[in-house]
Structure formats: structure tokens, C-alpha cells
Chains A and B, each alone.
Chain A
Amino acid sequence: MWKEHLVAKLKQHLGKGGVTPEHAHYLAQIRLGKLAVWATQLTLLIALILFWEVGANMRLIDPFITSQPSSIYHTFLRMAKDSSIFLHTGITVLETTLSFIIGTIAGSLIAVFLWWSDFFSRVLDPYIVILNSTPKIALGPLFIVFLGDGMKSIITMALTISIIVTIVMVYTGFREVDPNKIKLIRTFGANKLQILQKVVLPASVPTMMAALKVNVGMSFVGVIVGEFLVARAGLGYLIVYGQQVFQLHLAMTSVVVLIITAAVLYQLVACLENRFLRWKE
């Protein structure tokens, strides 16, 4: 009796906002589907954590090598108490943000320059192609020689990765703008600056947003690799340090924090995208 009541209650809740019973049913169906996906995702995560924890306790896996959730949790608490984890995370986020912002702005400006000058874009094309396909990480040791083993090298490392990606993606976006839209605005007598402002830039906003999303990830990779090589602070440094002194709890905790930080940064950029692409709704 109470069970039927509960199901009815749930159905009513899921179908909220329906303008007719059929519409409510349709809405409930869609929301139920979403709920199922979400619930499964959560279950999967919990199962993974449980398996890890129980498996480690039962020595199915060796917690000395793989650590285990409870240890990670305690390590995190300890590091939160003396704020060290926030300090390291803060440094990594700072480095990532800096290289992300500089890479995005400089890369976009260079893309504008390439769009503006057909001649130079053709001259520079092979250089960009080669730079784009070079694994920039290989340049890391050189940066240390050029710039010393500090934050400068780390940011430069991340910047080389993010700037090239930005140039390539944004410039390609510019090139793909419908030439008829440009013709249209020229019928009103638009000059080149106006074509850039009124057509090319706004039409490329979706590509630029996609570039931003790729860019956060790229900057992050650059920063972490940089920290592996030279740092005395940051999440990358913690991971390497934990590995070197065989404190896998520390390394794992840092990896978990790293994953969460990456997700947050990505979501921030995705929010930005939603704000700019409201006309697509």
C-alpha cells in the first residue's frame, strides 16, 4: 500500500511541469533516464572506492604500493590541518591559470594577426605545423637551462603547449567563417576591422570556447610536467616527491586532489562557455 503510494509520489515529482498528463509522462520518462545514468555513475564510483578499500584491507592488493582510500583521506586531513595541501594546490592552480590566460590571449592575438595578413599566414604556416606536431614536453630540459629551475620554466613549458594549440584552433575557426557573411557585411561598406569585430570574432566564439577547454587541459599537462622536472612546490612536485621517498599515500592523495582540481577548472571554463553561447539555446 505505502509502496504504491511512494511510486505515485515519485511519478508525480518526475512529471512536474508537464502541461498535459501525456507531457508529464514524457518529462518523467526523460528525467528517469537521466536519473538512472546519474545513479549508475555514482554507484560505479562508490563500488570502485569500496573495492579499493576492502581489497587493500584483505591484502588482495598491496596498500604499500596502491595506498587506499582511508589512508588518502587521513593524509588529506593531516595536510589540510597544516594547510600544506592548499599551498601546493594553490601554486599549481596559479601556474596553470597564468599559462592558460597568457596562452589564450597571446595565441588569439597571433591568430588575429595571421587572419589579417594572408601573406604572413602563408609564410608562417609550415613553422606552425612543425611546432604543433613537436612534443613540447621534450623542450622542458632546455627551458631549465635557459630560464633556471623556477616557476618561470614551468610556466614557459605550459605556455608553449597552450599557445600553439590556441593559435591553431582559433585561426582554423577564423578561416571557417562563412565567406558569404563577410560579403554581406561588406555590402554595408564594412572595413577590415569591422569584419573582424562584427563577423569573424563573434562567429568564432564557439571554436574559441572549444579552444579554451582544450587549453585548460594543455596548460595543466604543461605545469605538471614542469613541476616533475624542477619544482619545489605544487601537486606535480608532491607526486614526484611521494614517489621518491616511497610515500605512496602522499603521491596518491596528490593525484586525487589533482583530478578534482582539473575537474573544477574544466567546469569553470564550461560555465564561461554557457554564458557566451546563450544564443544557441
Chain B
Amino acid sequence: MAFIPKVQIEKVNIKYQTLDGETNALEDISLSIREGEFVSIVGPSGCGKSTLLSLISGLLKPTSGQVLIDGKPPQGSSQKLGYMLQQDYLFEWRTVYKNIMLGLEIQGKNKHSVKNKVHNLLKQYGLWSFRHYYPHQLSGGMRQRVALIRTLAVDPEILLLDEPFAALDYQTRLTLEDEVATILKRANKTVILVTHDISEAVAMSDRVIVISKRPGRVKADFKIEYAAGRLAPFETRKAPEFRNYFNCIWKELDIHVEGTPSG
């Protein structure tokens, strides 16, 4: 059986058209991502990271080139994909529980068996006792967890996460990184994580892809391996290789404002 990558991007260009002109967002991007791989994407802001995720999700069509999911072009909105946007966009008129059920409602999957799974997720992420709360009653970290569970509830094979931890304070971020990486790894999900935090990328991923300034191109592609094997992000930050990877990526990024060393 031939090896088919989970996500394959072939020579993709994306240009945004507006009345004022066009923006060349992504140029000649080719990538292939294995099943179960945890890939981080880093790059200066405005380089097209969010665009790349929208492209993979199928919400955005490439100007040229193609995207293949499991070797096939995605049909409409693929139910294999879960896409977590840059902000939580919780519906303030729905309770935590109803927010989480949103995707299942849309996909007509809110059956009894699925509800059990949602209950488990709520307990796993410490949100069970908050399930009847409204979003404005939650802290930033809790809102982000709700958004994550909403994405996980539909049981996607591929997760697209757009800076999911960016708005959180440092402690909450470290905790959530740990939780999320462990849970997703155990479930063998394919994950594409966009972040501007190099240490987060190095700590969580099997692979880090650096995108250049606009128009975005793949500038570097690092395989992250630890002698001690796959560890939880909190542990990897202490591993001897961590600093090394961090510095290499820092150099590739070649910028002066974004991502301060913090690990």
C-alpha cells in the first residue's frame, strides 16, 4: 500500500482580491503531513498562517495548486476536520454545554452516545460543574477550553488550531499546552498548530515549519526529536535539545519583535 499523507498541499498560491488590489498571501507552498503528526507553524504576523489553516479547512479555495486530505480533494466542508479559530467566538446566548453541542447539532450527530463523550470531555477539562454557565461568566482559560472541546466534540481526525493559547496568561498557557498535547497525542490526532511562540512550538510538536514574511513561503522545516522520546510539553522544555531547537528557529524567523525566549 502506497503511503498517503493525511494532509497534502501541492504548489499552492493564494491571492486575496480586493477593490484596492491584490494581496499575495501564500506563494508556492508544498507540504505533506503524516497521520498522527503534531505540526506547528510559526512565522511573522501577517505572513499567511491563518490563511494556510483556512485553506486546509476548505473554507478558502487556493488561487492555484491543490489541497488533498487522505489523498482526495476535500468535499465541501470535510467532517474530518476540526478548526479552532484565533478567538473562541463562543455564542454568548448559549450555555457552555450548548456551545459545545453546536458542531454536533450542525452535523446532525447529537445522539445519545455522543452526549456521553461530551460529558467525559467536560469532566476531563474540569468544566463539568460549569456546564450551565454562560460564556461571560467564564475566565479566559475556561473559554478557551470550551472552544477546544467544541472542536473535539465532533471527533475530527485533523485539528487545525489557530493560536489557541495566545490570549492566555503564562501559567494557564503552560497548563493547557500540557493537557492538550497529551490528550491529542493519546487520541492519535493529526494536529496543525499555528503559534507565534517558538517555545510553545518546540515544546508541543513533532515538527516545526517556519513561514517567511509575506508572501508566505516555507522557509524551514524542523523535525523535533528528543533523546528521551516523546514527552509532555512541560518536560520537553527542560530537555537539553530544547534550547538548541529554539535557537535554530529563532534564527530562521529573523525578526526582532516577535517571540521572546521564555522556555
Within the complex, the shortest CB–CB distance from A42 to chain B, in Å, comes to: 35
Cβ-defined partner of A194 (8 Å) among B78, B87, B106: B106
> Would A187 and B93 be within 8 Å (CB), given that A198-B105, A198-B106, A279-B134 are in contact?
no
Task: Please tell me the size bucket of the interface on A.
Answer: 10 to 19
**How many residues on the B side are at the interface (Cβ–Cβ under 8 A)?**
24
Cα A178 to Cα B106 with chains together (Å): 19
Partner-A contacts on B (CB < 8 A): 57, 59, 76-79, 81-83, 85, 87, 89, 91-95, 102-103, 105-107, 134, 154
Contact check, B107 vs A188: say whether CB atoms are below 8 A apart: yes
Sort A-B residue pairs by CB-CB distance and give the 6 closest, nearest first. A189-B77, A187-B83, A188-B103, A188-B106, A184-B89, A279-B93
Query: CB of A190 within 8 A of chain B?
Result: yes
- For B82, B92, B106, the residue with the greatest tally of chain A CB atoms inside 10 Å of its CB is B106
Q: Which listed residue (A189, A205, A279) contacts B107, Cβ 8 A?
A: A189
**Chain A nearest Cβ from B115, distance in angstroms:** 17
Q: Are B105 and A205 in contact (CB under 8 A)?
A: no
**Is A188 in contact with B102, judged by CB distance below 8 angstroms?**
yes
Q: A202 → chain B, closest Cβ, in Å?
A: 5
**Beta-carbon contact of B92 and A187 below 8 Å:** no
Give CA–CA (A185, B95) in the complex, Å. 16
Whether the pair A180, B105 counts as a contact (CB closer than 8 A) is: no
Contact residues in B for A198 (Cβ distance below 8 Å): 91, 102, 105-106
Contact in complex: A184, B85 (CB < 8 Å): yes
- The DSSP consensus for interface residues of chain A is helix
Do B107 and A187 touch (CB < 8 A)?
Answer: no
A205 to B77, Cβ gap below 8 A? no
Q: Which residues of A contact B105 (CB under 8 A)?
A: 198
Q: What's the nearest-Cβ distance from chain A to residue B28, in Å?
A: 26
List which A184-231 residues lie within 8 A (CB) of chain B: 184-190, 194, 198-199, 202-203, 205
| Smallest Cβ-Cβ distance to A186: which chain B residue | B59
Q: How far is the CA of A190 from the CA of B106 in the complex (A)?
A: 6
**16 pairs, A vs B, C-beta closer than 8 Å:** A180-B87, A180-B89, A181-B91, A183-B85, A183-B89, A185-B102, A186-B77, A187-B83, A188-B103, A189-B76, A189-B78, A189-B79, A205-B93, A279-B92, A279-B93, A279-B94
User: In the complex the two chains form, is A188's CB within 8 Å of B93's CB?
Assistant: no
- Given A198-B106, A202-B93, A279-B134: A188 touches B87 (CB 8 Å cut-off): no
Assuming the A-B contacts A183-B59, A279-B134, are A189 and B89 also in contact, with contact meaning beta carbons closer than 8 angstroms in the complex? no
B102 and A187: CB pair below 8 A?
A: no
Q: How far is the CA of A183 from the CA of B85 in the complex (A)?
A: 9
A183-B85, A198-B91 known, 4 other contacts, Cβ within 8 Å: A186-B59, A203-B91, A203-B93, A205-B93
* B77 touching A199, Cβ below 8 Å: no
Contacts of B94 in A (CB 8 A): 202, 279
Chain B neighbourhood of A202, CB < 8 A: 91, 93-94
Interface residues of A in 215-274 (CB under 8 A from B): none
